[in-house]
Amino acid sequence: MTLAIVCPLVLLGGVVDAVAGGGGLITLPSYLIAGVPPHLAIATNQLSAAIGSTASTVRLWRNGFVNVALALPAALFGFLGSVGGARITLLVPEGVLRYVLLVLLPVVAVVVMRRKNLAAKEREMPWNRRWLLVAACSLACGLYNGFYGPGSGTFTLLAFTTVAGMGLKDASGDMKIWNLSANIASIITFALSGQMWWLVGCVAGVFGMAGHYVGAGLVLKDGTRIVRPVIVLVLVILFVRTALELAGVIA
């Protein structure tokens, strides 16, 4: 039953992520809608997200969208930040975390769907300063990724382009390297704490890869018009299910 609910939504999340970003706003709620406890939901979502985004990461690497010199600090500090964020999440009681997620989900959804256009060209900046800014942005976004997850790729891309002054091409590739490293850090941290549903995460990850593949092949004039109602619908389902659960109507 869990796979029947999660896999189609993770597939849809992969399509949305490839088209316009924000797929995590669909994939994490899918686990919660299926009744997976919050800690386990966040952990397993990180696993399926890492598997789902691997294909697009490799594709960007092969096509020269990765600035290796900046990808290294992005990966390192993203890893460290994500470990810290995951450990903070594990300290939050399950009942409290459920309410935290309900507050964060709509807030992040609004921020992601209203994000500004990204700068296509790189800003002139001393190398050492750019390196430090990339490291700082990676650490901060890594903390958020480990603690919660959805929207972290979008936030990191915005940080790389607006704060670190990177061009969109390098920022997109380095963000993918950061994202994969941060997800791996979260997976390790949650797994060592016994909070990982390996079977569901791996199966859902395959559906996520399929979604990324389908989304990458779509030619849409305005993907946002499709993405927004899908995200809103999933959030509404999550809120209704949680309300019924709190009311004692469902277990």
> For residue range 77-97, what is the model confidence (pLDDT) as tens digits?
999 999 999 999 999 998 788
Instruction: Give the mean model confidence (pLDDT) for residues 169-187.
Output: 89
| Cβ atoms of 114 and 136 closer than 8 Å | no
Angle between the N-to-C axes of helices 24-33 and 38-62, in degrees from 0 to 180, rounded to the nearest 10: 150
b/e code 103-122 from CB counts within 10 Å (16+ = b): ebbeebbeebbebeebbeeb
Q: Is 125 helix (H, G, I), strand (E, B) or coil?
A: coil
The domain total for the chain is: 1
Instruction: Give the mean model confidence (pLDDT) for residues 148-159.
Output: 84
Structure tokens at 249: 């109507």
Give 228's pLDDT tier (boundaries 50, 70, 90). low
DSSP structure class, residue 249: S
Instruction: Give the mean model confidence (pLDDT) for residues 33-45.
Output: 92
| Cβ atoms of 85 and 143 closer than 8 Å | yes
Q: Residue 208 pLDDT more than 80?
A: yes
Q: Residue 14 pLDDT more than 60?
A: yes
Q: Which domain holds residue 188?
A: 1-247
Rounded Cα distance, 200 and 203, in Å? 5
Quick one: pLDDT at residue 136? 97
> For residue range 70-81, what is the model confidence (pLDDT) as tens digits?
999 999 999 999
Structure tokens at 73: 């600090």
**C-alpha torsion 243→247→249→250, nearest 10:** 60
Quick one: pLDDT at residue 2? 92
Quick one: pLDDT at residue 221? 43
Higher confidence at residue 69 or residue 245?
69
